[in-house]
Structure 1
Amino acid sequence: MSLHAQLSPEAQERLNAQRRNSTISAIVVSFLVLVLLGLILAFIFLEPFLKETPVIVSYSASVNDEDNIEQKKMTNSVERKPSAPSSSMAKVIAANTSSPTAVPVPEVDIPEPSTDFGDGDDFGDGWGSGGDGGGGGGFGNIPSTMRKRCSAQDRAARLQENGGTEQCEIAVVKGLDWLQKNQNKDGSWGNKKKAGMTGLAILAYLGHCETPLSEKYGETVLKGITYLVNLGVKKKGRLVDGNEPNPMPYEHAIATYALGESTTFCKQLGLNIPKLQEITQRAGQYIIDNQHTRSGGWDYGYSEDGKRGGDLSVTAWQIQALKACKHTGMDFRNMKGAISKALDYVADCQHSSGGFAYNTGGKSHSKDGFYTLTGAGMLSFQMWDKENHAAVRKGAKYASANAKFGYKTADCDLYGHYYLGQAMIARGGPEWKNYNESFRDDLIKNQGKDGSWGKPGVGKNNNAVGAEFVENVVYRNTLCILMLEVYYRFLPGTGGG
């Protein structure tokens, strides 16, 4: 006989109820687990789609520095009108993205051209009378100045406000059109000293706020920047075409200055041009590392210990280039110390009259004794926030009393007068008003129908050293354009410090 345990009906009912509750609880827990897993997976896979679209800066048209910057949503691709970039250019621009591919990069071991590059004197001494500057007045606050010069409405207002005319803007556009039509297929300009000529052309476009995104000139600007970047890749950071020692520091500095401004613009616009920042940093550091150790200036061939010690013509370009590099926000070793030594050198070049000489020996660059580097000396201080330095005040008085301009006269030294234009507008007041009236209309009057300027001065008897700007049409056209952009390219000074 076997014994069997048997539950009472009440106990059986309680057991069944417990089983039902356990089943329901298990189902609920399982459902909650599935919901939780779904949320985790959704967060992982949907996160890239929930990120905010990058913004592109649109520059305010208002004259006030405190204007708010309008922000526009940016699509994932860059659209350019009226035509798309060529296949080689299409790889270069990306909005806030990285790319392993640049425009075709030349091999480093490609032979360097060394023929037909000038004798050095026309680019060395000849370029020693001034040149394109980094901008007095507002250079220390370049985001504001860039924002302002990017508005056609603001440019027109500042032209009138600062002594310009509608004809100035017409002349600038005609000049930019000429440059566009005469760009080489590889993106450069000119047939020799191409790094320097290309740098000047890019500066002329950026001075009018024409960037790689510009509707009319975007492709032109992009090709020019790319040419310099590829040159820097090939030459390991040096932006020169040949091996002549005299032109080298001019070309490298001008091209570095252009890439410095290009980097700042592209960073603000969210554009990525492969290798642009890398080459800009290497080029700027090369300038700092090759400063003359004794004088504090810069010399031909970037000699660091040569007996000559450099000259103000070469030095002023390095100072401008380093200012553009500094504003990129990148780090450069010993930037502060290099500029301090450089400004000491510039001060030593000032003559007792107030004019700035070619070097510390007091040499003038003009056949009539005028110190043609006066504007270069003044601007060197102004760009580094020393607009009230005694050297600037003395230089302005000297220029007001002695500077002359006439496109078809011996005093048409475009190189020196472009420096003076920037330095004097940074001074402002009567000094700028009088100087502006001495060159503005005469410069516009001598522009040709095709947008270019003919040979200035009276040939070899010009009151300047060298004939580079007389014979080189790209050189003189870019200087003329830059002179007429001075009204809006940088914020003017308020006058008298």
Structure 2
Amino acid sequence: MTLRNVLVKALERIGRTPLPFVGRDVHVDTLRSVPSWGLSVLLHALALLLLAILIRSSGGLTADRSFVGEFAMPEIADLTSLVEADRAGDPFTNADSSDPPSLGLQPADPLMQLSAQPRITNLVDFAPDLAGPEPMKNLGLSLRGTEALPGLGEHITAPFSGRQGLDRAKLVRREGGTVHSEKCVEDGLAWIVRHQKSDGSWVLNVNEVCQSCPAQFGIESQTGATGLALLPLLGAGYIHTVKSRHQEAIRRGLEWLCEHQQENGDLHVGGTGISYLYSHAIASMALCEAYGLSRDPKLAEPARRAIAFIVASQDPQTGGWRYVPGQAGDTSVFGWHIFALRSGHMAGLTIPRSTLRGCNDYLNLAAADGKKTIYAYLVGRPASPIMTAEALVGRQLLGWPRDHPSLLKGVGRVSADLEKSSERNIYYWYYATQLLHNMKDKDWDRWNPRVREELVKSQVVNESCTGGSWDPAQPVPDRWGMTAGRLFQTSLSVLTLEVYYRYLPLYRTADSDPLPDAPKVGDPQKKK
């Protein structure tokens, strides 16, 4: 049966029928007289008219609305923005944000391989406004035969800017992090917050607040534990003045530190004797970084007094720090104190010139060779690769340039030791990762995927209370973690994974500057 016959039969049933969109009635006899091609033209015209009305009612295709058939390439796209997420300093809140996420709200896609992690080119939008500080060469001028050694009161542009939002996401990709390492950071922070005490502090023995985590015994320091808990939270850009899921935990932790600070700036509360200045330095870092991130005026004086106590506690003979104020220094405690001075400097506090001279003096004394390439735990003792890594980070902060011959040779020694060592030692990894990241040479290219994937693989992943932490006893015992405990192990692991954005690059005044390979000096395999 033809299309015309079908229409005729239908019209015969309903008689005189008005057709839509036509301004008159159509009779059956008239329809019989129309040829088949005429009906086809009429029906197609009606179909086009219907389509036009539907498009008009939905807003139409204007000049501003078009369809683009391009697919983003993995090398330049943000794979993490393919999941439902938002990012306003906290990737797990439900607050709307125009910034793409560095992590999604949904579980990680098991099919997303690490090899597909996108890389990004030099970020011109990071320079010059978000440029990291130049090496603090004014700290090391005494090594160059001059006494013109100013303090650290200069302004630094956006020193903590890489920790938040889109800047953090970009730095993760460019500097060598992955979606998986960022997920480990967030899960580790969640574990830390779950084990905060009701008074706002943390303790190294988490059994005081949680009976589900395995018992661990060792040193005690409520101040040190609170600082260790706050530092990775601040390192990820969370702060007490910005709404996020960790805002309240950070606020209570900072309040606890301020409430227990003495008039002279001392932050230590109880604990074993060897933890005294360790704890003060770590807590001072937390106060200074919280102040630098938030610019909260309530933190200005506590941060200033904490730094003042560090200055007063320096050994006047060696220039170092150890367990109690005025004691001859050791390189381990020295490292935490020079980090605290760096955090105070970045927060805008002034560091006295005499303190900086003392720092240089101590490192000169702790050097175990004439060229100041390797360093010992105590003055006069044999060199240690762990202390060498810690001391060389201090040299970097004190102004040694990236191509300093002793720095290059020392970094080579540390890198060679890391290559052959199979020991699990998060304290060593924490300092070595910062040292090599500052250099950004071939040693960093080899070390970064190794330490990153080892930490990703060893994080506890389960539904129990231990999920998100790092067990100091498993999969193999950590050298110091069995003494310091799970909070220590977890905090340093998270801080190590935050190396990509916690501080802006040390040896670039603009993040778009090229990074030539650093020349190698000497044979890193030979040790004295």
What TM-score bracket applies, with the shorter chain setting the length? 0.5 to 0.7
CA 437–253 in structure 1, closer or farther in 2 if over 3 Å, else same:
same
Structural mapping, 1:160-175, within 5 Å: 160-175=173-188
CA distance in 2, matches of 1:383, 1:300: 22
The answer to whether the 8 Å contact 1:60/1:67 transfers is no
What residue number does 2:410 align with?
Answer: 395
What residue number does 1:281 align with?
Answer: 304
Give, in angstroms, the shift of residue 342 of structure 1. 0.9
What residue number does 2:343 align with?
Answer: 324
CA distance in 2, matches of 1:255, 1:265: 15
Give, in angstroms, the shift of residue 386 of structure 1. 2.4
Q: Counterpart amino acid of 1:296? A: G
The answer to whether the 8 Å contact 2:318/2:362 transfers is yes
What residue number does 2:279 align with?
Answer: 251
Query: 2:385 pairs with 371, 379, 401, which one?
Result: 371
Any idea what the Cα deviations from partners look like across 1:100-119, whole Å, max 9, x if unmatched?
xxxxxxxxxxxxxxxxxxxx
CA 246–471 in structure 1, closer or farther in 2 if over 3 Å, else same:
closer
Give, in angstroms, the shift of residue 351 of structure 1. 2.9
CA 394–351 in structure 1, closer or farther in 2 if over 3 Å, else same:
farther
Structural mapping, 1:4-15, within 5 Å: none
What residue number does 1:262 align with?
Answer: 290
CA 65–236 in structure 1, closer or farther in 2 if over 3 Å, else same:
same
Aligned residues: 345
Any idea what the Cα deviations from partners look like across 1:385-436, whole Å, max 9, x if unmatched?
3243444222211112111488xx5x11111110111111000021211111
The answer to whether the 8 Å contact 2:222/2:271 transfers is no
SS of 2:273's partner is: coil
What residue number does 1:496 align with?
Answer: 518
SS of 2:501's partner is: helix
Query: 1:183 pairs with 196, 201, 204, which one?
Result: 196
Q: Counterpart amino acid of 1:180? A: V
SS of 2:158's partner is: helix
Give, in angstroms, the shift of residue 244 of structure 1. 4.1
Structural mapping, 1:480-495, within 5 Å: 480-492=493-505, 493=507, 494=515
CA 471–201 in structure 1, closer or farther in 2 if over 3 Å, else same:
closer
What residue number does 2:254 align with?
Answer: 225
What residue number does 2:163 align with?
Answer: 149
CA distance in 1, matches of 2:401, 2:201: 35
Q: Counterpart amino acid of 2:162? A: K
Any idea what the Cα deviations from partners look like across 1:313-345, whole Å, max 9, x if unmatched?
11111111112122332345xx22211221221
CA distance in 1, matches of 2:273, 2:503: 32
5+ long unaligned stretches in structure 2? 1-96, 101-122, 131-153, 206-219, 462-466, 508-514, 520-528
5+ long unaligned stretches in structure 1? 1-57, 70-139, 365-369
Query: 1:194 pairs with 222, 226, 235, which one?
Result: 222
Any idea what the Cα deviations from partners look like across 1:131-159, whole Å, max 9, x if unmatched?
xxxxxxxxx986434222212x3323222
The answer to whether the 8 Å contact 1:414/1:469 transfers is no
The answer to whether the 8 Å contact 1:374/1:395 transfers is yes
What residue number does 1:25 align with?
Answer: none
CA distance in 2, matches of 1:199, 1:405: 33
CA distance in 2, matches of 1:237, 1:323: 17
CA distance in 1, matches of 2:471, 2:345: 36
Any idea what the Cα deviations from partners look like across 1:198-247, whole Å, max 9, x if unmatched?
111111011110011131111111111111111114x6421111264321
The answer to whether the 8 Å contact 2:159/2:346 transfers is no
The answer to whether the 8 Å contact 1:145/1:490 transfers is yes
SS of 1:292's partner is: coil
Q: Counterpart amino acid of 1:420? A: A
Query: 2:365 pairs with 339, 348, 359, which one?
Result: 348
CA distance in 2, matches of 1:63, 1:143: 16
CA 60–405 in structure 1, closer or farther in 2 if over 3 Å, else same:
farther
What residue number does 2:6 align with?
Answer: none
Give, in angstroms, the shift of residue 257 of structure 1. 1.1
Any idea what the Cα deviations from partners look like across 1:234-287, whole Å, max 9, x if unmatched?
x642111126432111000110111111111121xxx343xx222221121111
SS of 1:451's partner is: coil
Give, in angstroms, the shift of residue 477 of structure 1. 0.4
SS of 1:310's partner is: coil
* RMSD (CA atoms): 2.8
CA distance in 2, matches of 1:325, 1:384: 14
Q: Counterpart amino acid of 2:518? A: G
Comparing 486-495 with 431-440, which one deviates more in the overlay?
A: 486-495
The answer to whether the 8 Å contact 1:459/1:470 transfers is no
CA distance in 2, matches of 1:147, 1:427: 20
CA distance in 2, matches of 1:382, 1:488: 18
CA 68–145 in structure 1, closer or farther in 2 if over 3 Å, else same:
closer
Q: Normalised by the size of structure 1, how large is the TM-score?
A: 0.64
Q: Counterpart amino acid of 1:215? A: S
CA 473–488 in structure 1, closer or farther in 2 if over 3 Å, else same:
same
Any idea what the Cα deviations from partners look like across 1:343-367, whole Å, max 9, x if unmatched?
2211332333933221221335xxx
CA distance in 1, matches of 2:155, 2:502: 12
Give, in angstroms, the shift of residue 491 of structure 1. 2.4
The answer to whether the 8 Å contact 2:439/2:518 transfers is yes
Q: Counterpart amino acid of 1:328? A: A
The answer to whether the 8 Å contact 2:376/2:388 transfers is yes
CA distance in 2, matches of 1:451, 1:301: 34
CA 232–469 in structure 1, closer or farther in 2 if over 3 Å, else same:
farther
Query: 2:319 pairs with 263, 278, 296, which one?
Result: 296
CA distance in 2, matches of 1:357, 1:64: 42
Q: Counterpart amino acid of 2:125? A: N
What residue number does 1:241 align with?
Answer: 269
Structure with the larger RCO, 1 or 2 (CA within 8 Å, 6+ apart): 1
CA distance in 2, matches of 1:282, 1:238: 8
Give, in angstroms, the shift of residue 444 of structure 1. 0.6
What residue number does 2:231 align with?
Answer: 203
